[in-house]
Each structure stands twice: as C-alpha cells, then as structure tokens.
Structure 1
Amino acid sequence: MSLFDLPDPDTLYAALCAKDPAYDGRAFVAVRTTGIFCRFTCPARKPLRRNCSFYDSAGACLEAGCRPCKRCHPLNQSGDPLVDDLLAALDRNPAYRWREADLVARGHDPSTVRRAFKRHFGMSFLDMARLRRLRDGFSALSETGSVTEAQLEAGFESPSAFRDSFARLMGVAPGQLKPGARLQANWIDTRLGPMIAVSDERALYLLEFADRKALPAELKALWRDAKGDLGLGRPAPTEEIARQLAEFLDGNRSVFTVPLAPGGTPFQRRVWQALQRIPAGQTCSYSDLAQEIGRPEATRAVARANGANRIAILIPCHRVIGADGSLTGYGGGLWRKRRLIEVERSHAVLADTA
C-alpha cells in the first residue's frame, strides 16, 4: 500500500477511533501537537481530527520528524530478530551516536542491517538514529536556548560537536542566533519530511526541506541580510504554514494564504510569480516559463532563478519539468517532486468532479 493508495483522511480517522486492527502495519497516525506517531490500535486517548496526519509506513513518520509512541511501539512490527534487536537498543538509548562499528560489535553485518531496515522502513538504521537525534537537539535548543542542554538531549559528545552539526544544518552556529530576533527559524514536521521555516510576525521568508543541500547557504544569506537578526521561534506565519501544509498534503487544501517575502532580484521575482501562475496539477518546461515572462532567450537564467527559490511548495518550482517531459533536478529530491505533482493532480481531479 503506497501513500496515495490510503483511504481518505476521514475514513482513516474513523478507523483510528475504532482501533481497527485491519490497519495495523498498513497505516499510522502522527499527532501534530506532540510529534508522536502511533498504530491505529494504540490504547492512548485518540487525538482530535485536526491534529492528525496519516502515513503509509513507520519510515514515512520518522522522515516527517515524528517520534514512535512508547505505549504502542509502532516500530516493533517487523518480526525480524535483527530489526527488533536494534530497535530495542535504539529505544533504550535514543541519543546514542550509532556507527557501523557498533553494529559489528553486536554481531550484525552492516550491509544486512541496511537492507533489512530499507525493506521495513524505507531508510537505514543509521539514518533512523540520526533523524531522532537531530530533531531532539533542534527542539531542545528552540525550547531552552541552551547549547549544552541541546547537546545532551541529542547525544552529541560535546557542545562543540553539536555546534558543528547544527551549523551544517542551519548555516550559522547556535551562538550566532539572537534571542527575540525579528526573523525566527523553526522545524516543521510534514508528510514529506522535516522542513525549516523562517518568518517574522508578518510573512514567510524561507521554507525548505531540512536535507536540501542549499539550505545552510540560504540561511546564512538570510542571517547576513538581516544583520544577524535571526533566532529560533515560531511566529504566526510559521504556525499557519505548518497547518496549511498538513491540510494540503492530506488533500484538504489546494491554495496557500500565508504572506510571502521571497527576496530575490526583480528578474527572479518575475520568474517566481510566473511559477505561481502555473495551475496546480500542471507542469511546464524552463523554455515555456521563459516565454511566459517575455524572455524566450533566457531559458538558462530562468532555470537558475528556479533553483534560487527558497520558499518550496508555495512558490511551486516543482511544477517545472524537462522539455522532454522528464522530471528534472529538484533540491528537495525527485521523489518529493513526483509526490507533490501527484498531490496537486489529485486536487485537480477532485475539483473537476465536484
């Protein structure tokens, strides 16, 4: 069962409330207010419908930055002793920094472990452990402002190791972030994986997948342009885009209303405005986009502007494909580009049949 083969969210929510065992291992629920994901048969009190996101695998929940429930243990379903052994070890010490040598020391072949976890969860064991640590460290730093507490929460060996890892993600070290800053960065969990959002009280300045290679440079540029007035926090536009993204990926929203502050040159802004005019569910080529803005000779410049966009999904650079119809490069990964196009096409089908 793939993500887009799941029933509609209302059907899934009814099955969740009924603790329907038919969905055990086939669908999972993540609770936005807690960041925890569960089996449908979990004995815990059921969350409100508006706080639920549904996923087709435990791996998808982890990629979205969610943590497994300690009551229903949604990861412990493989029936594979190797997988169960490592999951139990991870639960006992989620902050431990796992290496391949640790797997060997436990009597496991790293390549066998990698294949087993890819088969069951769509990611390697080491990736699973890293995602847990990264999310916990970011959350601790956002809540406490203490590098030491974040380092301990995330299981880094020293504050300097955490600062280096944080800087690789954010483009700036924790000490360069300003308490009470005008621009504030925060982590958003989505069905397509964790994202970083930056906003002030008025508008959204950045929205990128946390694993995008260009993210550190983009955040560094924002920090520089704001003269260091960048910190951690969750202003109203970030809170609102988190809600709207969840509705969009659940199939319950096709239009975003959060104000944007994308920056860029006048040419780049023309390209980004043209991107926003492409109807959801449709695609075009770079040459089509160049024609649209009245610069047919500027296909390469249009492609560069497309790549410079730092507000993913809302400025839909994923709608641009190759002239031959192939999916071309996308900073968030081609698998995300494919899924975003599928989501938008499903919205268009529903609109046509309404």
Structure 2
Amino acid sequence: MRDLPDHDRLYTALLARDPAFEGVALVGVASTGIFCRLTCPARKPLARNCRWFASAAEAQRAGFRPCLRCKPQGAQADAHPVIGQLMSALAQRPGHRWSEACLTEMGLDPSTVRRLFRQHFGESFLQMARAERLRQGIGRLHQGGRMIDAQLDSGFDSASGFRRAFAQLFGHAPHRMTADADLRADWLDTPLGGMIAIADTQALHLLEFVDRKALPAGLRRLSAMAGGRIGLGRTEITAQTEAALGDFFAGRSGLLQVPVKLAGTPFQQRVWQELQRIPAGQTRSYAQLAQAIGQPSAVRAVAGANGANRLALVVPCHRVIGADGTLTGYAGGLWRKEKLIALEAGYRNLAGISQDTAR
C-alpha cells in the first residue's frame, strides 16, 4: 500500500500549490472541517491544522467535508467548468466537425481552451474531437463499409484527410488492413478515452490509448513483427479485453485477467510480469520494482521498460510512482494516471474491508 510523503513535504507542496501532488494526497483542515486539493487557491491553513489523506473517501470517513471551490472528489480536470462543458458537448455530438469558430460561438476563447486541454490531457480539444471522428470512420470500415462512407461518417471532407489521420494512428493506410490478417485491430471506448486493442485468437498483443504519441511507432513495430498481417476486426480475446475493462472502470474488478503476448527482451518481460503482480490500489517506486526483480541497481532500465510497455492497464505501469510519492511520467498522460490511482483507491478500500471482515 502506498505511504504518503511526510508532513513537511506535503505542507511545502500545499503552500506552492504543486500540481505534481494531484492524485497523491488531499489536505483536511482541522479548523474548518473541510478537505481540499493541495492545489486549491483558498487561503492556506497553518501547518498544525493540516491532516493528510490518500483519497477523498478517507477524508470523508474522518469527518471532513469536500471543498466547494477545488472539488477534491474528482480528478483535477473534472473541477474545471470549461472542460466539463466541452467534454459533454463532444459526447453529445461525436461526429461534429469542431473548429475554433465553434468554440467562439459557445462564448469560449480558443486559446484558453487549447491551453486547458493541453495542460490536463496533453492534447487540444480539437485533436480529441478529430480522434473521435476517426473512431467512427474505423467503426464503419470494420463493419465492411466503403471508404467514402467511412470518410463521410467521420466528418472528413476529403479521402486524403481521412487516410492521413488513419495512417498517423495505425502506421499505414486503411487499404492495407488486410482481410486475411493474423492480428485484428479494434477501437475500444473507455471512460478515459479510446484505446486500440490488437489481438489474435490466443492473446492480446497491444492495448494503448489512441492519443499516445508513441502509438504509431508501436503499431509499425508490431506490424513488422506480424509481416504486415494486421487487419481491422476483433477476436474473442478483444471481447474479453473489452469486458475486463468494463468491470475495471465500473469498480467490479481490479484484475484485468486477459491472456497477453509480452513481446520484449527477457529483462523487459521480467519487469512487465512484476508490474502485473502489483494489486489494484497499491503502487511501487522504480527502485522497489528493480529490487523486486533482483536487480536493485537497474532503476533506469526499469523505467525504460515501463515506457516500452504496449499493454496499458493490463500491464499496469501506471502503478509506478516517484520515490517521494509524487506522480511521475505516464505515456497515457498524467491526468489519466491521476484518475486511475483515484479509481483504484476504491479497490484498496474494498480489500481492507474484506480483510477486516475475515478477522
């Protein structure tokens, strides 16, 4: 189970409103009975009045009420009204061709929107909207639709525009997704955004968020390993992965038990296997992970293996944090890491309840 950083470090982070501590700790103020994010803009309490909690549930069980200003019960992005407004609009109109003019018509400043989304998600709102339109086009092709139908469904005004977006994501054009492929690629929707799943009839080979910058390169490597035989579609393993993700995000199971193909060096495979042994609701530092595989001096190599993981969530590299308890780099975006750790705190609490019941 993750231990919180010490009082002095947390209080220093509170005074500095350090965003690195989002998802790491919350502060309860004894003099007011309210708990907040460490980034809350409210007046800072005295150090002696601070109590520290790993989750909103823990703070509430201790008798503290959530701050109405920083809304500590959700992830950081959830607290911003502009982000909430646009995410709701995108969900209602996923096929709409969003532009800066649309944002202006909604009374929003495009540069502010761009800054907010890049700060919280690592990409702009318009990039998110483009990915959603591409998802619809991929779905149409997956169902056997013609290229022109997929192009129109996804809101692209030219075939070349659709092909460019597709090639950027998959590493090759749609017509190369062969019908007699050995591996099948499909888009899976999750509460944290779209994911690409690639599987054969035996195992899951890749599961990545579609906005990860290294995804096209990873897809090209996988395509080369499969001799280019990757097609659109799904297998029973894809359906199993989708069901496991549904249970995970619904809070029903922290175990994503899916057969996987760990394609990497022996060292990388040992790191990935050790990652799979970390229970939901717990975290490890890179140093602890290196110690666990019997190579305590290989901290940097362990970090490199984490970054090379192509099976997000199933091989849970998001459960690795800094030695000081802060969130560190995550290829899927720190905002996702924050939300995943907050989600998995519920599994940690359930495990504690089960243990108490057993005693």
TM-score (norm 1): 0.69
Aligned residue identity for 1:290: A
Residue type matched to 1:211 in 2?
D
Report what 2:327 is aligned to. 327
Does the alignment pair 1:158 with 2:181?
no
Q: Report if aligned partners of 1:62, 1:131 keep a CA contact under 8 Å in 2.
A: no
Alpha-carbon distance between aligned partners in 1 of 2:243 and 2:85, rounded to the nearest angstrom: 21
What is the CA–CA distance in structure 2 between the aligned matches of 1:280 and 1:185, rounded to whole Å?
27
Question: Aligned equivalents of 1:340 and 1:109: distance in 2?
Answer: 29
SS of equivalent to 2:321: coil
Check whether the contact 2:255–2:280 (CA below 8 A) recurs between aligned residues.
no
Aligned to 1:168: 168
Residues 152-231 of structure 1 mapped to structure 2, 5 A cutoff: 152-231=152-231
SS of the counterpart of 2:284? coil
2:130 is the counterpart of 1:114: no
Helix, strand or coil at the partner of 1:162: helix
CA RMSD of superposed structures (Å): 3.2
For 2:301, the aligned partner's letter is A
- Give 1:101 deviation, angstroms: 5.5
SS of the residue corresponding to residue 219 of structure 1 reads: helix
- SS at the partner of 2:130? helix
In structure 2, the residue matched to 1:294 is 294
Residue 234 of structure 2 corresponds to: 234
* Distance across 2 between alignment mates of 1:341 and 1:186: 26
* Percent identity over paired residues: 50
Distance in 2 between residues matched to 1:257 and 1:109, nearest whole Å: 43
Report the equivalent of 1:36: none
Matches within 5 A, 1:1-354: 67-68=91-92, 94-96=95-97, 98-100=98-100, 110-111=109-110, 114=113, 126-127=126-127, 129-144=129-144, 146-354=146-354
Partners of 1:204 and 1:259 within 8 A in 2: yes
Which sits farther off after the overlay, 194-203 or 341-350? Answer: 341-350
Q: Tell me which amino acid in the other structure corresponds to 2:199.
A: S
Aligned to 2:79: none
**In structure 2, how many angstroms separate the alpha carbons of the residues matched to 1:264 and 1:61?**
39
The alpha carbon displacement at 1:337 in A equals 0.9
Distance 1:193 1:148, change over 3 A: same
Distance 1:290 1:147 in 2: 48
The CA deviation at 1:256 is 2.1
Structure 1 residue 145 displacement after superposition: 5.1
Structure 2 unpaired stretches of 5+: 1-54, 58-82, 355-359
Structure 1 spans left out of the alignment, 5+ residues: 7-55, 69-89
